[in-house]
Amino acid sequence: MEYNVYASACPTRMIFDRLSDKWALLILDRLCPAPVRFNQLLREIDGISQKMLSQTLKNLERDGLINRQAFPTVPVTVEYSITPLGKTLASTVNVLIHWAQDHGDAVLAAQAAYDQRLAG
C-alpha cells in the first residue's frame, strides 16, 4: 500500500499524532538501552501521571513499538521493552530529544525576541 502523508485520511497521520506526543518520545527513548519496569518509568519521567503513563504504554504496545511482559510475582511485576519495530525509530527519537536539549536556550531566546517585537 502506498501512503500519502498529506492526505487527511492517510493512516500515517495517526502515527504522527503518536510520535508528536512528548510522553511517547520520552518513553521510547528511555526503553532503548534496556527493559524498564512501570514504576521505574513513573519515577524517572518527571511530570507524567500514572494514568498518562499507563495510557501511553498501551498505545505504544498497540502500535507494535514496545512489549509488555508481566512476571508472576506478588504483586505482579510488569516490564516494558522496545520492539524491533520500535528500534527502527529509536535513533530518530534520540536525535529529537537531544536536539531539544541542545537548542532549548536558542528556542527560548527566539520566543522572547518574538514576544518583545509584538509588545514593542
pLDDT digits (tens), the chain, 120 positions = 788 989 988 989 888 888 889 999 999 999 999 999 999 999 999 999 999 999 999 999 999 999 999 999 988 899 999 999 999 998 899 999 999 999 999 999 999 999 999 997
Q: Which residues form the domain of 68?
A: 12-119
DSSP state of 38: H
pTM of the model: 0.87
User: Is 4 part of a structural domain of the chain?
Assistant: no
Here the CATH number for the domain that contains residue 73 is 1.10.10.10
State phi, psi for 5 to the nearest 5 degrees. -65, -15
User: Is 108 among the domain residues?
Assistant: yes
Question: Is residue 109 domain-resident?
Answer: yes
Answer yes or no: is 79 within a domain: yes
Please indicate, yes or no, if residue 1 is contained in any of the structural domains: no
Residue 85 located in a structural domain = yes
Judge whether 33 lies within some domain: yes
Q: Which of 84, 73, 74, 69 is nearest to 37 (CA)?
A: 69
Total domains, the chain: 1
Residue 6, in any domain of the structure:
no
